[in-house]
Structure 1
Amino acid sequence: MTKPPRKTSKPLLGEAEAPLRSRPRRRRNPAQPNLPLDPMPDRIDPCLALLRPKPPKGPQWAFEVKWDGYRLALHIEPSGVRILTRGGHDWTERFPAIAAEARRLPVATAILDGEAVVFDERGRSDFGRLQQSLGGRGGKRTSREAVLMAFDLLYFDGRDIRQTELTSRRHLLEGLVPAAGEKAIRLSEEIEADGETLLRIACEHDLEGIIAKRRDSPYRSGRLGDWLKIKCTQSDGFAIMGYEKSTASFGGIGRLLLAARKGDELVYVGGVGTGFNERSAAELREQMDKLIISKPAVDTGRKRNAVFVRPELVAEIEYRAWTHDGKLRHGSYKGLRDAADEAAVYEVS
């Protein structure tokens, strides 16, 4: 004979009319830790763009304008804001407008990657104007004109998102930074166009060039090919070896003598005698006169009225091409790179 079901010690349900209740919840112990957050990196080496002669093709590439300024990392932390140069130097005090705007962004912790620029009357980023606003190489001036064009987000509200694909990082950045207006932090917008069309338009407007980025790429420090740069005109850093004197030129500088890197050595690549104004030439002359040496650091050939200097200054030079014997053609001086920017001297093969 089948036994009747055994009564449970406690009914699964109480009386039909009685409300169901869970057992009382215990108050959370404040000492109990929250879910772990990713530690905020003290510094991140930037992702750098490889130079290419033509834009890549395909839907996997996103395109932006190439900005001409100083690469910066903006750290927003509970303790405050830090603005770091590419070389890791703290320049927070030198960009007060950017720092003030960073404090107003709607985020508790973040690291933004971007470029500090100063715009000219036509809305183009102008490296020379940025340099002047900071007081030249080695200057200590603050720049209230500089704007941070933000193009990537590496850390966001307690999470390290460098391994997230670019498209997702950009989506978060677009919700954080305004795309236009007069603010000191602005979004470097992706432009819906194929690379060749965008490059042509950029060159027609006298911009420096464009940047191409793989949409599915994580953020990787170094020059690994996830980002590419395509320039309208060549612009690179060259070591200053000295100058030829001239009584008819600004600052008495007739022509700068320049060198590029070849392996572990420097090689002479010609001179540049244009691009100076009275102010930039005077500042450059003051810097060079502190470094005068009796003999050139590399063979420059026979030069009349030449003054040679230790190759410690890096000039940003815009140029059109190279001669058959490895000299710069149609070069123009744009400004001195600051040591904190860690600008590389151009390498010749």
Structure 2
Amino acid sequence: MKKPPRKPSKPLLGDVGASLRGQPRRRRDPAQPQLLLDPMPARIDPCLALLKPRPPKGRQWAFEVKWDGYRLAIHIEPKGVRILTRGGHDWTDRFPAIVAQAKRLPVSTAILDGEAVVFDELGRSDFGKLQQSLGGRGGKRTSWESVCMVFDLLYLDGRDLTETEFTARRHLLEGIVPAGGEEAIRLSEEIEADGEKLLRIACEHGLEGIIAKDRNSTYRSGRGGEWLKIKCIQSDGFAIVGYQRSSSAFGNIGALLLAARKEGQLIYVGSVGTGFNASEAMKLRAEMDKRKVTAPAVRYTGRRKNLIWIKPTLVAEIEYRAWTHDGKLRHPSYKGLREEPDDAAVYELEQSRENSDKGQDYDEQHYSREQHPNRPVK
């Protein structure tokens, strides 16, 4: 004879009309392992490319076009999108089209690394057009035409990817921002080509240069050599330490006197008198006149006259062909003033001595606007 089933000591659900209550919540044991999620960092200092005269060789290197614009980090969170400049300034309101596109990406949380650019009629990134779209240096205009060319993914849906190798980060990025898009956020595509050949093609098409990235590298802030930049025409930031006054030049600026850094000191590296038009020269003159000083911030032994010295707080983006044998810029041309939010860093001489070439000193030659008032603006 079968025994009757045991009567449970307590009904499974208790009284039907009674409210259900869970077990009392206990405090978490501090020794218990945490969930395998990484907190989203408020900011990541960017990985910067080290300047080299020639592309590296080997299958470990991936190549991309070098974009000429403002470095940006796009932070995507459920509460909204933030856009930070290289210097850590919040410029979310300056790029509304990029923000709108970021909200449409198929992610919950992410940090994208890229460059805001404005293209010219030939599809090349144009730093001057980007500055104009933002209202000039110090302007507050929003730029609807800016596009962010993204080239790295640093954080994705609860995972910090900075310790992940570059190839894996790129694979994940391509799943978020597919190649060939025409939106405000586009993928900076890897180009399968020999570095030397790609550099030659980039220069023939009027591009600034190329970037080489170590496929096996993790994401490391600063210039550690994991990323390299090779330029068709050199372009870097130099401190303006003074100018030569000229009654016949735009804004009465015959030439700007420039300096680079070396071991914490400013070193005079030559002058530039081309690249700015009348309106740009007037704005530049107004900024410099606010910073006049009686003594130069550099040791100057040149022969120029009518010099006005200023505090070295303005950083000019200068294009140049190479370096002369005595450490001066060769064939320089003014491109514009760098913004503080873009971390307007002054060029470090220690990083580029391999780019020096032999040649006569062009600093005291006739390359000022005074001698060439009709030279075209670049």
Fold match by TM threshold 0.5: yes
- State the alpha-carbon separation in 2 of the partners of residues 234 and 222 from structure 1: 20
Task: Please name the residue that 2:58 is paired with.
Answer: 58
Provide structure 1 residue ranges, at least 5 long, that are not aligned to the other structure.
1-8, 10-23
The answer to whether the aligner puts 1:340 opposite 2:341 as a matched pair is: yes
- Is 1:218 the counterpart of 2:218? The answer is yes
- 1:42-77 deviation line (CA, Å, top 9, x unaligned): 100111111111111111111000111111100001
> What's the RMSD between the two structures over aligned residues?
2.5
Q: Which residue of 2 aligns with 1:17?
A: none
CA contact (8 A) 2:181 2:187 kept: no
Distance 1:28 1:263 in 2: 66
Which residue in 1 is equivalent to 2:198?
198
Q: Which moved more, 1:265-274 or 1:279-288?
A: 279-288
1:276 match? 276
State the match for 2:370 in structure 1.
none
- Matched to 1:169, the amino acid is R
What CA distance in whole angstroms lies between the structure 2 residues aligned with 1:296 and 1:302? Answer: 14
Provide Cα deviations, 1:115-149, integer angstroms capped at 9, x if missing partner: 11111111111111112222222222221121100
Residue matched to 1:135: 135
Q: Is the 8 A contact 2:39 2:158 kept in 1?
A: yes
- Could you say which residue in structure 1 is the equivalent of 2:314? 313
Code of the residue aligned with 1:253 in structure 2: it is: I
2:67 and 2:303 map into 1 onto residues whose CA distance is 38
Bigger CA drift: 180-189 or 112-121?
180-189
> Could you tell me how far apart the structure 1 residues matched to 2:195 and 2:238 are?
29
* Alpha-carbon shift at residue 166 of structure 1 (Å): 1.1
Once the two structures are superposed, the pairs formed by residues 1-349 of structure 1 within 5 Å of their partners are 35-300=35-300, 301-349=302-350
Deviations, residues 21-53 of structure 1 (Å, cap 9, x unaligned): xxx9xx999x89995421001100111111111
Distance in 2 of aligned mates of 1:67 and 1:74: 17
After superposition, the Cα gap between the structure-2 partners of 1:48 and 1:173, relative to the gap in structure 1 and judged at 3 Å, is same
Distance 1:118 1:41 in 2: 28
| TM-aligned CA deviation for residue 165 of structure 1 | 1.4
Aligned-partner Cα distance in 2 for 1:110–1:203: 34
Q: Deviation digits for residues 139-166 of structure 1, max 9, x if unmatched?
A: 2222112110000001111111122211
Alpha-carbon distance in structure 1 between the residues aligned to 2:122 and 2:150: 20
Deviations 1:60-110 (CA, angstroms, capped at 9, x unpaired)? 111000111111100001111000011111110111111111111111100
In 2, Cα distance between equivalents of 1:157 and 1:109: 5
Q: Do 1:136 and 1:283's aligned partners in 2 also have CA atoms closer than 8 Å?
A: no
Query: Partner amino acid for 1:345?
Result: V
The letter of the residue matching 1:344 is A
Counterpart-to-counterpart distance in 2, 1:98 and 1:260: 34
> What is the TM-score with the length of structure 2 in the denominator?
0.81
